[in-house]
Structure 1
Amino acid sequence: MGRDRIKILDGGMGTTLEAMGHSVNSELWGSELLHTNPEIMAGIHRQYAQAGADLVETCTYQLTSGNLSNYLSTIQASKTSSSPTFSYNENQNNDTSHTQDHDHDQDYDTNSLFCRSIDLVHTAFSSSPLHGSSINTVTHVTHSHQRTDKSKDVVFSCGPYGSTLRPGAEYSGLYPPPYGPSSSGSSEVGSDKAMNNFESSVEGQSQEEEAIRLLTKFHLDKLLTVALVEETWRKIEWIAFETIPLLYEIKAIRLAMGELYDLLRRHYWKAETLEDGWYKKKFWITCPFPNSQFPQMGPNGYHVEIDELMDTLISPTMHCQGQGQVGEAVTKPIPMPIPNGIGINCTNPSYLSSLSKEFTNALKGQLQRQREREQRPKVSFVCYPDGGQVYDVHTRSWSTPLGGSDPDEWAKGLLSIAREVEKAKFKSNDNKNDNDNDNDNDCGDGKESERNSEGEEYVWDGVIVGGCCKTSFDEIRALKTNLDKMYEKE
């Protein structure tokens, strides 16, 4: 049973491209190859599938309609300026022919490149000799240990707003206004504490609401580039919101998913009569933990704790300020979709053991407090750390710590954590001793987690493990090999 509850995600894309000699220094980072050489990217997806990945992400982490449009405009301007007057070759590079309606063509090219990113992953599974040609666009988890039904899932990658900034702000959460708080003259320049959390004043709350509104639009706009194209949207199984450094951006993402579901319900209303809710794709939200801490600071001057992060991730509603009947400020709850997966990415693997236990205990507490609900949230733990190297956002370079990084040891360490997380259980009944020793069963590290007594349920719906920056095919292959060995005698 345990083996069937663990899936393998692919590894890093940008750093893998760099290791192969490709530049990722343009405005689009590695996504530039979607336009200039998609076969290179297709080959990387294919190698991850062959290495054993059950899920493969698109190369769209930093990609937005805005930076892609700017890039295409620059390319178009360069072609025009270097070509003889009125003699532009419309068939150059097999691009869609250009017309005088430049804006229309630019929009078409922007959306088509997003769709191409999904097609490349989808095709990678069908062309992988190790995994055959069958792709499940709806996840099916078999209870057979042999896992003869290989479910291969396309994951649409969506980075935070901070991934579009120079330097990147995924680790700091330092967003400029109006996407972040206004700087305070009395605060230290460049201080995370000064810049990445809003004041608790009325003005601060107003700024936060505006930031949430803008970030909701930022994420929704990206989703709509592919969600309204039915053929493309049906190929996606998961949406990965990854490296999210701020609580209010998590709220914006969940609001964006709620708006997306409402829009697609109306857009696909005819198809829904045959397949109820097919357009509601699963999504996960993962966060970075530089130096083992969530980037956002709290009003007390300390980093936000896992319990507060968990509440923001899976609370069924968000409370927003509004106007009452006589104009007074009131707080009203807004329902939000609950992610199908939450967890950790782009983090040094040395922090995973303690962080995974904190996540498990925090979710366990939420589940036990929600006993009255008819349906508790079913959430998978998603964990794809870095390869162990350290990244400098200013020089955009990596440094290797003493001792280096071995793919096999990296995989074994990650899988030992994944197995403990997978086994963790909680008491779901109303026995009088429910509250006794609840916190002693941290993460399934003993016999308590393996009990199959009545009233116990798994804390997590499943586990997804993979690699982020500075991981590649060797790490994913090692994950597959060691995961199979871990359960081969069961």
Structure 2
Amino acid sequence: MRQTLEKILEKNQICVIDGSMGTALERLGANLNNSLWTARVLLEQPELVKKVHLDYFRAGADAGITCSYQATIPGLMANGLAEKEAEELIVRSVKVFQEARDEWWEKEGKAAGRVYPMCLAGIGPYGAYLADGSEYKGHYEISEEALREFHERRAELLWQAGADVLLFETQPSLTEAKIEAGIAERIGADYWISFSCKDGLHINEGDLIRDCAKAFREGASHLRALGVNCTKPEYLESLIKELRKETELPIAVYPNSGETYDPVTKTWNGKGDGHSFKDYARMYMEAGARAVGGCCTTVSEHIVAVAEARAKFLEASE
């Protein structure tokens, strides 16, 4: 039986999602300045990926994202892997998560009365494969059929490996999100769609976020949540409210901590606006988000803060 968001919400009312894989790996000494980004660490040092998952479970995460965002078949093959090796690495992202989850569950989680964590299979947009920051712009020149071919096999592999949910994340394009949804519907996989946004109203390609929600009102029987990630935290309250105008699905948000991405150096620069991540997390819950976590530049301390915000939010709701 796969874990579901519904089961987590029944027990905890709010689901805590984990934080950044990339920043956490850098903390452990990994070098991510290459086109494969975190997938290089999955290939060469999977034990570090496992440690990141364990740290997030201990921090309070009810759901975690696999190290598969940048693990694409063409990207891996361009870096010297055979097609079969590329497919095996994509499957490994789920297996490493499962190993970490089961180890933590048996040693700590079950006895502590925690929920069994949900495995979200991270699937980045085509722009992530380009490794030039295109997930923050969209408008890449590629046919819809080519996009379908790009995403299809990876989605199949991640679902067959036992992921609980296919997480199509950091999506700058409604067109691409629709294609991904079609793939998930065809293979019968539960999925979430999470957009990257340029302000409090629009996704990065320019569509209104509420129109994106409206687009999935029909023909999306396996869609389990809509949301926003890798977006400035100050935009999230507005985006949550806009989504709620057009969907009754749970809303999941996991912003970055406010910096700007440099695709040349593959680093994040600048400072946030001074609000604590805990304050923001509480704000998102009050706005109607049912799942909250962190994206780029967030680490386990941020997830501890989200769990603390949930406790305060639920206490105030009683």
TM-score with structure 2 length normalisation? 0.88
Tell me whether 1:386 sits opposite 2:256 in the alignment. Answer: yes
1:421 counterpart = 2:268: no
Q: What is aligned with 1:242?
A: 169
- CA distance in structure 2 between the partners assigned to 1:309 and 1:354 by the alignment: 15
Comparing 2-11 with 383-392, which one deviates more in the overlay?
2-11
Classify 1:227/1:151 alpha carbon distance in 2 versus 1 (closer, same or farther; 3 Å). Answer: closer
1:108-162, CA deviations, whole angstroms, 9 ceiling, x for partnerless residues?
A: 322222222111111212222797365xxxxxxxxxxxx9461311111100011
Q: Is the 2:213–2:246 Cα contact (8 Å) retained in structure 1?
A: yes
- CA shift for structure 1 position 397: 2.3
CA distance in 2, matches of 1:10, 1:58: 10
C-alpha distance in structure 2 between counterparts of 1:343 and 1:306, whole Å: 9
Q: Percent identity between the aligned chains?
A: 27
Which residue pairs with 1:411 in the alignment?
278
- Which structure shows the bigger proportion of residues in helix conformation? 2
Structure-1 residue corresponding to 2:144: 212
Question: Any gaps of 5 or more consecutive residues in structure 2?
Answer: 1-8
Alignment of 1:113-192 (within 5 A): 113-128=89-104, 132=108, 148=113, 150-176=115-141, 179=142
Q: Within the alignment, does 1:483 sit opposite 2:315 as a pair?
A: no
Give the CA deviation at 1:17.
Answer: 1.9
d(CA) in 2 for partners of 1:19 and 1:149? 26
Match of 1:355 among 229, 236, 239: 239
Task: Please list every run of 5 or more consecutive structure 1 residues that lacks an aligned counterpart in the other structure.
Answer: 74-105, 135-146, 180-210, 262-279, 297-302, 318-335, 364-377, 423-462
Structure 2 CA distance for partners of 1:240 and 1:227, relative to 1, 3 Å: closer
Residue type of the alignment partner of 1:361: K
State the alpha-carbon separation in 1 of the partners of residues 13 and 145 from structure 2. 36
Amino acid paired to 2:121:
F
For the 8 Å contact 2:170–2:229, the answer to whether it is kept is yes
CA distance in structure 1 between the aligned counterparts of 2:228 and 2:24, rounded to whole angstroms: 20
Q: 1:286 aligns with which of 194, 198, 209?
A: 194
Match of 1:96 in 2: none
Contact 1:385–1:469, Cα closer than 8 Å, also in 2: yes
* Stretch deviating more after TM superposition (25-34 or 340-349): 25-34
Which segment is superposed worse, 60-69 or 342-351?
60-69
* RMSD between superposed Cα atoms in Å: 2.5
Larger Rg over CA atoms:
1
The CA deviation at 1:71 is 2.0
Please report how far the alpha carbon of residue 481 of structure 1 lies from its aligned counterpart in structure 2 after TM superposition.
Answer: 2.2
Per the alignment, in what secondary structure is the counterpart of residue 70 of structure 2?
A: coil
SS in 1 for 2:187: helix
Taking a change above 3 Å as real, the CA distance of residues 259 and 16 of structure 1, as seen in their structure-2 partners, is: same
Listed one character per residue, the Cα deviations across residues 144-192 of structure 1 (whole Å, up to 9, x for unaligned) are xxx946131111110001111141211110312xx1xxxxxxxxxxxxx
- Mark the CA change 1:412 to 1:115 in structure 2 (over 3 Å): closer, same or farther: same
Q: How far is the alpha carbon of 1:52 from its aligned partner?
A: 0.6
Would the aligned equivalents of 1:217 and 1:256 in 2 still touch at CA under 8 Å?
no
Could you list the per-position Cα deviations for residues 420-473 of structure 1 after superposition, in whole angstroms to 9, with x for gaps in the alignment? Answer: 315xxxxxxxxxxxxxxxxxxxxxxxxxxxxxxxxxxxxxxxx11100001000
Structure 2 CA distance for aligned equivalents of residues 123 and 221 of structure 1: 23
For residues 52-451 of structure 1, the aligned pairs below 5 Å read 52-73=60-81, 106-128=82-104, 132=108, 148=113, 150-176=115-141, 179=142, 211-228=143-160, 232-233=161-162, 236-261=163-188, 280=189, 282-292=190-200, 293-296=202-205, 303-312=206-215, 314-317=216-219, 336-363=220-247, 379-401=249-271, 409-421=276-288
CA contact (8 A) 2:33 2:266 kept: no
How far the C-alpha of 1:3 sits from its partner, in A, is 7.1
Q: How far, CA to CA, are the matches of 2:31 and 2:140 in structure 1?
A: 26
Q: Rate the CA distance shift 1:338–1:394 in 2: closer, same or farther, 3 A.
A: same
In the TM superposition, what whole-angstrom CA distance separates every residue of 1:335-381 from its partner, at most 9, and x where no partner exists?
A: x5452110110010111121111111222xxxxxxxxxxxxxx6210
Between the aligned partners of 1:172 and 1:337, the Cα distance in structure 2 is: 29
Q: How does 1:34-53 map to 2 (within 5 A)?
A: 34-53=42-61
Q: 1:484–1:29: structure 2 CA closer, same or farther, 3 Å change rule?
A: same
**AA in 2 matched with 1:400:** G
Q: Could you list the per-position Cα deviations for residues 249-291 of structure 1 after superposition, in whole angstroms to 9, with x for gaps in the alignment?
A: 1111111112323xxxxxxxxxxxxxxxxxx3x2100101123
Going from structure 1 to structure 2, the CA distance change for 1:255 and 1:129 (only over 3 Å counts) comes to closer
> 2-side partners of 1:481 and 1:421: how far apart?
17
The reply on whether 1:12 has 2:17 as its aligned counterpart is no
Counterparts in 2 of 1:488 and 1:130: CA distance versus 1, 3 Å: farther
- Is the CA contact 1:390–1:398 (under 8 Å) kept in the aligned structure 2? yes
Residues 131 and 486 from structure 1, CA distance in 2 versus in 1: closer, same or farther, beyond 3 angstroms?
farther
Q: Secondary structure at the match of 2:245?
A: helix
Number of residue pairs the alignment of both structures matches: 308
> TM-score normalized by structure 1?
0.58
Shift of 1:59: 0.6
State how far apart, in whole Å, the 2-side matches of 1:49 and 1:380 are: 22
1:285 touches 1:343 (CA, 8 Å); kept in 2?
yes
Structure-2 change in CA distance of 1:389 and 1:70 (3 Å)? same
2:6 is aligned to: none
